[in-house]
Copies of this chain bind each other. A is one copy, B any other.
Amino acid sequence: MSRKNRTDVVAAACGMFAEQGFHGTSMRDLGKKLGLMGSSLYSHVVSKDELLVDVVREASSRFQSLANEVRTMPGTAIERLSRLIHGHLQILVEDPNQARTFLNETRFLPELERDTAVAMFDSYQQVFRDVLSGGRESGEFRADLDVHLAANLVLSLLNGTPRWFNSGGALNIESLASEVHHLLTVGLNPDPQRTPA
């Protein structure tokens, strides 16, 4: 109802991009959501692309913070992986619209910005690989672990959560993160024994 600022516009865009996709959202749609004319948005933003850039940059910076934290974090590989899992899920769950826009719409960014985002996420993923290979050397993880593959699988699992996790549901982030960590470290099998081949 009150006068809108750029932050309001970006927040609304974030929600619409998550639900309708970047190309499925028009500036007039977005204006309607904010109670404005579509053309009025151009007093806050210079282009539609800019809105997507803002959303993706915000998400990127969260992942980068987590990466930096874990890069300099002491502790075992298991502890560091645990922190990555929890931190990653927290980012996704805290703002699911931002997460979905980041995961699904980054590819529609102008080339330069998209390259930046991709490079950032690559270096983020490198932290996962570093933690996994550290744990492999220390004996915390399997010696035959394919670190590159495992990092992809772990990130796939994590990035899928915004599709089904309901932050209003019975399961909170702490439990989710702990379940994910449990699944990834000890697997589905019952505790002591192994599968017979």
Contact = CB atoms under 8 A, between A and B. Distances in A.
Copies of chain A in the complex? 2
Interface string A140-164: 1111011001101101111111011
A43 interface: no
B190 A187 contact: no
Interface extent on A, as a size class? 35 or more
Interface in A85-137: 104, 108, 132, 135
A164 B160 CA distance: 14
A3 interface: no
Interface of A: 20-24, 78, 81, 104, 108, 132, 135, 139-143, 145-146, 149-150, 152-153, 155-161, 163-165, 171, 176, 179-180, 183-192, 194-195
